[in-house]
Amino acid sequence: MKQHQFKITLGDELRAKLDDSSSRNFRSVAEDIRQRLEMSFDIEGDGHTLDLIYAILFLAHETMRDFGTTWWGDERARSAFMAAIADQVMSYPISPSDLAAKPLITLGTREQQAGPEDPPEAIGRAIARNYRRRVRPLGLRSDEFDIRRFRQLMRNEKKNDD
């Protein structure tokens, strides 16, 4: 793949953040920028999911302001954060045409196919466990996350689903 160079101007604060991130992750600033750009394009395609990502960031910030601690640092803050996320998720309308688009049996990985009788909560927990098993080992903290490895994993999953 041919690579192209771009000249951009960055303020001191942004450059310092990039320098810090790249040194923590043992990669060049250019590689850090590439991974961040790739991630931004990955989340851009689905408007509801992108909105939910921003909402989660906002809800985490507001939880910290209200409780004086992070959502993962206190059980009450975690409960409030979970309720805020659930409320936000429920605020997105479901289109009846989307409900009939795919039968439930196609959901999940090959190891954990969901059946029509499986409760959504059990399916959701299985999906979350699959995330922790397959993705989280790539980096628990977002600044350690290898977007190229994640994208490769997602591409392989799509191929397996076909």
pLDDT digits (tens, 9 = 90+) for 13-45: 999 999 998 888 788 999 888 888 887 877 776
Q: Is pLDDT of 12 > 90?
A: yes
Evaluate whether residue 58 is within a structural domain: yes
Q: Which among 86, 92, 81, 82 has a CA at the least distance from the CA of 47?
A: 92
Evaluate whether residue 26 is within a structural domain: no
In this prediction, residue 56 carries a pLDDT of: 93
Evaluate whether residue 107 is within a structural domain: no
- Angle (nearest 5°) at CA 17 between 15 and 22: 95
pLDDT digits (tens, 9 = 90+) for 115-149: 677 788 887 888 788 777 777 666 565 556 666 77
Q: Can you give the pTM of this predicted structure?
A: 0.65
Tally of domains in the chain = 1
pLDDT digits (tens, 9 = 90+) for 42-62: 777 677 888 898 899 999 999
Evaluate whether residue 51 is within a structural domain: yes
Evaluate whether residue 54 is within a structural domain: yes
Evaluate whether residue 9 is within a structural domain: no
Domain residues for 54? 45-92
Evaluate whether residue 12 is within a structural domain: no
Evaluate whether residue 83 is within a structural domain: yes
